[in-house]
Chains A and B, each alone.
Chain A
Amino acid sequence: MKKKEEYKMTAKELCIGDIVDFNPLNKFYTGNWRSRKKPILDKNKCINCLICWISCPDSSIKVVSDDAKISIVDNIDYNFCKGCGICAMECKNGAIKMEEEKK
């Protein structure tokens, strides 16, 4: 597939002062290229200690509130995960495993 050429904004269109707007439509998915392995979450083993969430350098551990308004680990955002493996290393309960990725 031929990729469309990126549109370059003019000085007038650009946000002033080197600001890059947060825009969910900007698909700057840093996770589309990562190390050989990716983390797989086993929700049955997870005790929601959130250590993985604190440790993740790419903010790829997604946390949500459950019915009792307690924060729980929901999933791993592979759009941004670089496969560093810190979460798996830090997980005390073996709930995150690094697995070879098929490409």
Chain B
Amino acid sequence: MIKTVYPTGKIVAKTGNEAIAEAMRQIEPDVVAAYPITPATEIMQIFSQFIADGIIGSEYIAVESEHSAMSATIAASAAGARAMTGTSSQGLAFMWEMLYIASGLRLPIVMAEVNRAISAPINIHGDHSDSMGTRDSGWIQLYSENSQEAYDNMIQAIRISEKAKLPVMVTTDGFVISHCMEVVEIYPDKDVKAFIGDYNPDRYLLDIKHPYTLGAIDLQDYYFEHRYQLSKAIEDSKNIILNVSKDFFNSFKRKYDFYEKYMLDDAEIAIVVIGSTAGTVKLVVKELRNKGIKAGLLKIRVYRPFPSKQIAKELASIKAIAIMDKSDSCSGAFAPIYSDIVASLYSNGIVKPKVLNCVYGLGGRDITIKQIINIYEILIKIASGIKYPTNIINYINVRK
């Protein structure tokens, strides 16, 4: 039998969506408003069934669009409720203006976001175009490699958001994780409830004894200060995230950080990646290590706030790095993660590593072990001094 990490944990087979719905059941938020969209539909389908069956007492608002879903969630959160929602792709895009309002009003909303490609052309499969588009919206973003991480991230997200007074997005790769049944360890309800605790907001709109105005107009004289506050809050949330991770480890024995290092400490070449692909890369790294090649992996879990100083330090001594983006910013230059990491390296005075940008997997195109080995082979060449163009994006497995 498979052993649990947490003594009273339970090993179950769950898809990413089921694991997230399970976390939501244990969290039992006061209000959930959502609109179904592939591949996130199942989350709310399962969650609303819990309510219909009388298992939990959450209020579910069936809305007519994602814009309304986010609006209702914002309103519920402002009123003082623990509020959650979930969406994907076009749904997230449709929430766009409300996302900024959620963060601007500093509301601790938690969203289950299933990564899916953005139209057009219409595509239901997983890539990071949707959430990467919202990377500057003032939301904390936690990416998950598998169902277990998605489940754990959801539980931590509640604590993080309520402490930081910021909305948090927990993402999973569409279909690759959302519809993939894997082994997940579920913790007992009471332990999860004890970990997240009760929600007691400092102030909320329905507190009629302490009235205040929320969302007033803010012009040249104050807007900047409020945005600075938000920026500072995102920066300060780094410590909060680490503290919650520490608490989570103490409670459930699973270790989380801004990122996961996999054989990175003595690595000469490394891949930086987000999401489910990290699992595949781990296998490749193991294989290459067996052959004596010093390969490593850095898997980013917390993309917003971006742990730039820490990442720069981790990558400082690596000769050649490939940064894999599952989204393209169509900037005519580079993709999002690459831009963030190169800026982090340069601003910390680290200019030695050669850094390659690889864009892969758009529209859910599979990335194979062979293709990842190819990337490491290119890195070996670059590390050994062979010239290779690093000032353009390498598109992996596209018919140019």
Binding site for B on A (CB under 8 A): 8-11, 14-22
User: Is A22 within 8 A of B211, CB to CB?
Assistant: yes
- Given the complex, which residues of B lie within 8 Å of A9, measured CB to CB? 222, 225
The 5 closest A-B pairs by CB, nearest first: A17-B106, A20-B213, A11-B225, A22-B211, A11-B228
Closest to B203 in A: A19
Distance in angstroms from B16 CB to nearest chain A CB is 32
- Given the complex, which residues of A lie within 8 Å of B203, measured CB to CB? 19
User: Is A18 within 8 A of B215, CB to CB?
Assistant: yes
Q: A10-B225, A11-B228 are in contact. Are A17 and B218 (CB under 8 A)?
A: no
Give Cα A20–Cα B226 distance, bound, in whole angstroms.
Answer: 12
User: Is B213 within 8 A of A19, CB to CB?
Assistant: yes
User: Is A11 within 8 A of B212, CB to CB?
Assistant: no
User: Is B222 within 8 A of A14, CB to CB?
Assistant: yes
- Given the complex, which residues of A lie within 8 Å of B213, measured CB to CB? 19-20, 22
Distance in angstroms from A80 CB to nearest chain B CB is 14
Q: Which of A8, A18, A21, A22 contacts B226 (CB 8 A)?
A: A18
User: Is B225 within 8 A of A21, CB to CB?
Assistant: no
User: Is A19 within 8 A of B228, CB to CB?
Assistant: no
User: Is B165 within 8 A of A16, CB to CB?
Assistant: yes
- Given the complex, which residues of A lie within 8 Å of B106, measured CB to CB? 16-18
Distance in angstroms from B217 CB to nearest chain A CB is 9
Give Cα A18–Cα B210 distance, bound, in whole angstroms.
Answer: 16
Chain B residues 216 to 249 lying within 8 A of chain A, measured CB to CB, are 216, 218, 221-222, 225-226, 228-229, 232-233
User: Is A18 within 8 A of B216, CB to CB?
Assistant: yes
Closest to B217 in A: A18
Q: Which of B104, B221, B232, B233 contacts A18 (CB 8 A)?
A: B104
Give Cα A16–Cα B229 distance, bound, in whole angstroms.
Answer: 7
Complex A-B: 13 CB contacts under 8 Å: A8-B221, A9-B222, A11-B225, A11-B226, A14-B225, A16-B229, A17-B214, A17-B226, A18-B105, A18-B106, A18-B215, A20-B216, A22-B211
Q: Which of B104, B211, B228 contacts A17 (CB 8 A)?
A: B104
Tell me, yes or no, whether B107 is within 8 Å of chain A by CB. Answer: yes
Closest to A13 in B: B225
User: Is B107 within 8 A of A17, CB to CB?
Assistant: yes
Distance in angstroms from A44 CB to nearest chain B CB is 34
- Given the complex, which residues of A lie within 8 Å of B214, measured CB to CB? 17-20
Closest to A8 in B: B221
Closest to A19 in B: B212
Give Cα A20–Cα B216 distance, bound, in whole angstroms.
Answer: 7
Distance in angstroms from A17 CB to nearest chain B CB is 3
Give Cα A77–Cα B366 distance, bound, in whole angstroms.
Answer: 69
User: Is B105 within 8 A of A17, CB to CB?
Assistant: yes
Give Cα A18–Cα B213 distance, bound, in whole angstroms.
Answer: 8
Distance in angstroms from B292 CB to nearest chain A CB is 53
Q: Which of A8, A11, A19, A21 contacts B232 (CB 8 A)?
A: A11
Give Cα A55–Cα B222 distance, bound, in whole angstroms.
Answer: 33
User: Is B165 within 8 A of A18, CB to CB?
Assistant: no
Distance in angstroms from A30 CB to nearest chain B CB is 13
Q: A8-B221, A19-B203, A22-B210 are in contact. Are A14 and B216 (CB under 8 A)?
A: no
Give Cα A18–Cα B104 distance, bound, in whole angstroms.
Answer: 7
Distance in angstroms from A21 CB to nearest chain B CB is 5
Q: Which of A14, A16, A17, A22 gathers most chain B CB within 10 Å?
A: A17
- Given the complex, which residues of B lie within 8 Å of A11, measured CB to CB? 225-226, 228-229, 232
